[in-house]
A and B are shown apart, each in its own frame.
Chain A
Amino acid sequence: MKKTTLISILGFLILLVLPRFLSSYTLGVFILIFYYAYLGQSWNILTGYTGVISLGHSLYVGIGAYTATYLVMTLGLSPWIGMWVGGIVAGGIGLVVGYLGFRFGLKGVYFVLLTIAFAEIGRLVILHLKVFGSFQGLFIAPTFTFVNLQFKENIPYYYIALGYVIFSLVVVRLIERSKIGRYLVALREDEDAAESLGVDVFKYKMIAIFISAFMTSLGGAFYANYIYYLHPGTMMSMASSIEIILRPIIGGMGTVLGPVIGSFLITPLAELSRSYFSKAGYEGLHLVIYGFLLVAVVLFFPRGVIAYIKKRV
């Protein structure tokens, strides 16, 4: 355990000074690595620790992005504040999904379908809202100030995204060490046994889905102010939900470092293959590879890469 702490601190220090040596493009790749590590971690809180699979987390990304942007548009509220409002909205919707799913005892595939249904309804509703530009999507005209969370260069985004990752690591570590975390793992392993020992399964699942949705939505607020363009078709589709879950699955679900490791492995690969294949005229080929990867990982390494690293260290 001491050794991993040391490696983590060393890795953190390297990441802290790294931007001095990197080009803007490479920084962009790192920002995406952090962004997806963060989203994966947020998803991991629900699925990794409770075993309840959500395939609709792009809904919460969208809610975060659109709420923060809407508050800027109408009230001129800084995204730094707006993102917490978005978090509460997303958390609230997470609670609705959770209430319906857990109260009515939807298990396995049924719960997956419930999350997909909510995400699709959300996507279609936002797609038809005129405030958000309907089918054209919404362009954000950036004003480069700290208050607006918009910057000319990639370096501030790099540090903010890194901050997101550290925030998520701290949250997950706290959860893991607390009573809540132990209850969650207990109910993941055997829900009936946990319940018969007096764990309020419903309550702890609700807590997990709230935190997960809340945090995912904070990521959406960042994304909106990094990309300056919002479209439900790209941001809230099922494909985006799969992007979110791919990294924690490959890295290792239900672990603190799994999503981070997964993102460091997959995101650069995804970025490079995306730009390489589309330059060569094979657009979509990287998604074919993703698909095979997802199949292969679940079939042959169901516990993720981290299980193999742990064996070695």
Chain B
Amino acid sequence: MNVTLLLQLAVSGFLLGGVYSLIALGLSLIFGVMKVINFAHGEMMVWGMYVAYTLLLWTGVDPFLSFLVSAACLFLLGYALQRTVVNRIIDFPEAMQVLPLVGMGMVFENSARLVWGPDYISPRSRFSLSSLSLGDLMIDVPKLLAFSLAIIITIAVLLFLKKTDTGKAIRAAADNRTGALLVGTDVNRIYAVCFGIGAACVGAAGGLLVPIMPLSPHIGAPFTLLSFIIVILGGMGSLSGAMVGGLIIGVAESIGPELITSLFHGAGLDLDFPHTMKQVVSFFILIVIMLLRPQGIFGGRRG
């Protein structure tokens, strides 16, 4: 086994994991407050990517700046989605909540395809292909930037929830809906704002991913699943859990295929575990965690 390669992969996975954390934070926030799983999460991220991409194309503004516009657009989209669809399904049985949001995911995915076409695009931005070297390790500058910004946004969102009045109202509505109603909170507005913030997180993450990975309308669904896995791993509704879970999954997906391949070879099998199967690693983690510790690493009780 090549240790330098493994370390290289781990670093790169860790950096990507920071962005994963931000995506999962959005999902976890929405779930924590409304007990609704946003099955259109990845597709909304793709819209965030396309907003940043279009701005890059028209105005030349770098995605590392225009992710703020993505976040704002997705906030509005999330707010509207909550008001029109999600608010009506909050009291549905859990399983029936899945279907309308799966439907909205199809709408987002295929409307993106209508607008931007089905092909993969890898836009060239200012920092693409530049890297730093740290001893034997090469660190991708766009990944490092995306990671740092994602972590800053995550901390900002957590501070917002802790310190501001709206943030406190959101946490109150999450803890006790009836109680929040009784003290005069406009719970419906709070829910919509919260869904908007969750969507803005994933929109910002989408913008940050533009310089890192090729975009196409169809890459959303795997990210929806990825963010579930992270949220379940960290613990449903636990925001710090989402952060740690994202980093763990980022590293696991990055070094998993390499490790498994060398395990296969060590056992004398002539089998490779290609990198294109990296999702199998996280699905495996998902199954194991659901069976053995369904409340997740940080979850106190069952979600």
- Report B212-256 residues with CB < 8 Å from chain A CB: 217, 221, 225, 228, 232
- A173 interface residue (CB < 8 Å to B): no
With a cutoff of 8 Å between Cβ atoms, the chain B residues found around residue A298 in the complex are: 89, 92, 96, 99-100, 103
The answer to whether A291 touches B103 (Cβ under 8 A) is yes
The answer to whether B283 touches A121 (Cβ under 8 A) is yes
- A131 interface residue (CB < 8 Å to B): no
Kindly state the separation between the CA atoms of A299 and B107 in the bound complex, as whole angstroms. Answer: 16
Are A299 and B290 also in contact (CB < 8 A) when A112-B95, A121-B280, A238-B221 are? no
* Closest chain B residue to A241, Cβ basis: B102
B234 to chain A minimum Cβ distance, whole angstroms, is 15
- B60 interface residue (CB < 8 Å to A): no
Are A284 and B118 also in contact (CB < 8 A) when A121-B280, A128-B274, A299-B100 are? yes
With a cutoff of 8 Å between Cβ atoms, the chain A residues found around residue B1 in the complex are: none
The answer to whether B107 touches A288 (Cβ under 8 A) is yes
B32 to chain A minimum Cβ distance, whole angstroms, is 14
Interchain CB contact (< 8 A) of B106 among A55, A107, A291: A291
Contact with A along B25-62 (1 / 0, CB 8 A): 00000000000010000000000000000000000000
With a cutoff of 8 Å between Cβ atoms, the chain B residues found around residue A249 in the complex are: 99
Interchain CB contact (< 8 A) of A285 among B94, B114, B118: B114
Kindly state the separation between the CA atoms of A121 and B280 in the bound complex, as whole angstroms. Answer: 6
Could you list 14 examples of A-B contacts with CB < 8 Å? Answer: A55-B102, A107-B94, A109-B94, A113-B228, A114-B290, A125-B280, A127-B276, A128-B276, A283-B114, A287-B106, A294-B102, A294-B106, A295-B107, A298-B100
- B8 interface residue (CB < 8 Å to A): no
Are A114 and B287 also in contact (CB < 8 A) when A108-B94, A284-B118 are? yes
With a cutoff of 8 Å between Cβ atoms, the chain A residues found around residue B110 in the complex are: 284-285, 287-288, 291
- A191 interface residue (CB < 8 Å to B): no
The answer to whether A51 touches B95 (Cβ under 8 A) is yes
- Report B289-303 residues with CB < 8 Å from chain A CB: 290-291, 294
- A53 interface residue (CB < 8 Å to B): yes
Interface range for A: 35 or more
The answer to whether B102 touches A242 (Cβ under 8 A) is yes
Interchain CB contact (< 8 A) of A290 among B103, B217, B228: B103
The answer to whether A113 touches B113 (Cβ under 8 A) is no
Residues of B participating in the A interface, judged by any CB pair closer than 8 Å: 37, 85, 88-89, 92-100, 102-107, 109-111, 113-114, 118, 217, 221, 225, 228, 232, 274, 276-277, 279-280, 283-284, 286-287, 290-291, 294
The answer to whether B89 touches A299 (Cβ under 8 A) is yes
Kindly state the separation between the CA atoms of A100 and B102 in the bound complex, as whole angstroms. Answer: 24
- Report A71-122 residues with CB < 8 Å from chain B CB: 100, 104, 106-110, 112-114, 116-117, 120-121
- A29 interface residue (CB < 8 Å to B): no
With a cutoff of 8 Å between Cβ atoms, the chain B residues found around residue A294 in the complex are: 99-100, 102-103, 106
A241 to chain B minimum Cβ distance, whole angstroms, is 9
B227 to chain A minimum Cβ distance, whole angstroms, is 11
- A124 interface residue (CB < 8 Å to B): yes
The answer to whether A292 touches B103 (Cβ under 8 A) is yes
The answer to whether A120 touches B287 (Cβ under 8 A) is no
With a cutoff of 8 Å between Cβ atoms, the chain B residues found around residue A125 in the complex are: 277, 280
Are A110 and B294 also in contact (CB < 8 A) when A120-B283, A291-B106, A298-B89 are? yes
B213 to chain A minimum Cβ distance, whole angstroms, is 18
- A302 interface residue (CB < 8 Å to B): yes
Are A109 and B277 also in contact (CB < 8 A) when A291-B107, A292-B103 are? no
With a cutoff of 8 Å between Cβ atoms, the chain A residues found around residue B93 in the complex are: 108
A308 to chain B minimum Cβ distance, whole angstroms, is 18
The answer to whether A117 touches B283 (Cβ under 8 A) is yes
The answer to whether B114 touches A110 (Cβ under 8 A) is no
- A144 interface residue (CB < 8 Å to B): no
A164 to chain B minimum Cβ distance, whole angstroms, is 25
With a cutoff of 8 Å between Cβ atoms, the chain A residues found around residue B100 in the complex are: 294-295, 298-299
The answer to whether B111 touches A128 (Cβ under 8 A) is no
Are A112 and B106 also in contact (CB < 8 A) when A124-B280, A238-B221, A288-B111 are? no
With a cutoff of 8 Å between Cβ atoms, the chain B residues found around residue A128 in the complex are: 274, 276-277
The answer to whether B118 touches A283 (Cβ under 8 A) is yes
* Closest chain A residue to B95, Cβ basis: A53
A285 to chain B minimum Cβ distance, whole angstroms, is 6
The answer to whether B104 touches A291 (Cβ under 8 A) is yes
The answer to whether A242 touches B106 (Cβ under 8 A) is yes
The answer to whether A302 touches B103 (Cβ under 8 A) is no
Kindly state the separation between the CA atoms of A242 and B105 in the bound complex, as whole angstroms. Answer: 11
Contact with B along A249-289 (1 / 0, CB 8 A): 10000000000000000000000000000000011110110
The answer to whether A282 touches B114 (Cβ under 8 A) is yes
With a cutoff of 8 Å between Cβ atoms, the chain A residues found around residue B107 in the complex are: 288, 291-292, 295
